[in-house]
């Protein structure tokens, strides 16, 4: 810029077309232009520096992004391998479970006292239901001999009373009914009928009234009321 202005200034002086004031003003403007150019060049240098820094930052980010992507890919590969291994293990466990489920487990006989007592009771009850009273009595007696405190001993005494009543052995029936009359209204009612079968109406009425008092809402109590009206 300075090389352009100086020849122009010389030309103006030689031609006599410019006054000193104009020349001075021209010089001032030229200095301002040079200063402006200097500032512009400085700004351009700053922009170049900024662009260089941005370029380096972009390059760094690209490098880090690539590295991070590689790390992520490696982790995904590790995870996929782990899942694949777990899938294999799960399949193996599933196959083992299926083999266990399809394998018949050996039946272990129940030899407990409860199981034995239940079998004795059920067998005697079946004999009674089939009308084999003597066989049923033997089964119930065996139960009481082996399990005098068994869970079904009260029911056994009641059923023995029924068996003896069916055989018209009323004394034996009364004995069995009497032992469980507090538990079963049926026992008390059938005991009354046993006395009635022996001709003892007084005892029969006494037991029937006792039945009505102890089990007022039972079917046996209703039957006892009807029976009392007949006596």
228 shares a domain with 160: no
160 shares a domain with 193: no
pTM check: above 0.85: no
- Tallying the residues shown for the chain, one arrives at 231
Residue 104 lies in a domain: no
87 shares a domain with 55: yes
Residue 98 lies in a domain: no
Residue 40 lies in a domain: yes
Residue position matching structure tokens 């209703």: 222
Domain count, the chain: 3
pLDDT tens, the chain, 231 aa long: 444 444 554 454 445 555 666 666 666 766 777 777 777 777 767 776 676 676 676 666 666 665 666 666 666 666 566 566 556 555 666 666 666 555 544 544 444 578 888 999 999 999 999 999 999 999 999 999 999 999 999 999 999 999 999 999 999 999 999 999 999 999 999 999 999 999 999 999 999 999 999 999 999 999 999 999 998
The dihedral built from the CA positions of residue 53, 54, 59 and 65, taken in this order, carries a sign that is: positive
164 shares a domain with 83: no
Residue 14 is part of which domain span? 2-93
CA distances from 231 to 47, 218, 224 (A): 130, 20, 11
**CB burial readout 89-102, b (16+ within 10 A) else e:** eeeeeeeeeeeeee
75 shares a domain with 11: yes
Question: So what's the pLDDT on residue 195?
Answer: 97
């Amino acid at each position: 810029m300075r090389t352009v202005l100086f020849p122009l200034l010389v030309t103006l002086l030689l031609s006599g077309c410019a006054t000193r004031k104009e020349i001075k003003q021209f010089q001032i403007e030229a200095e301002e232009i040079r200063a402006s150019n200097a500032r512009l060049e400085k700004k351009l240098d700053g922009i170049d520096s900024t662009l260089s820094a941005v370029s380096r930052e972009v390059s760094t980010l690209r490098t880090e992004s690539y590295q991070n992507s590689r790390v992520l890919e490696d982790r995904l590969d590790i995870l996929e391998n782990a899942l694949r291994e777990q899938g294999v293990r799960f399949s193996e466990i599933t196959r083992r479970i299926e083999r266990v489920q399809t394998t018949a487990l050996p039946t272990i006989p129940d030899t407990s006292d409860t199981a034995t007592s239940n079998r004795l009771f059920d067998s005697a009850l079946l004999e009674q239901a089939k009308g084999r009273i003597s066989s049923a009595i033997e089964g119930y007696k065996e139960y009481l001999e082996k399990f005098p405190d068994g869970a079904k001993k009260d029911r056994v005494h009641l059923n023995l009373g029924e068996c003896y009543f069916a055989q018209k052995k009323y004394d034996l029936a009364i004995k069995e009914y009497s032992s469980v009359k507090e538990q079963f209204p049926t026992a008390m009612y059938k005991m009354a009928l046993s006395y009635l079968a022996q001709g003892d109406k007084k005892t029969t009425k006494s037991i029937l009234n006792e039945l009505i008092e102890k089990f007022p809402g039972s079917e046996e109590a209703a039957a006892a009321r009807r029976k009392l009206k007949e006596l």
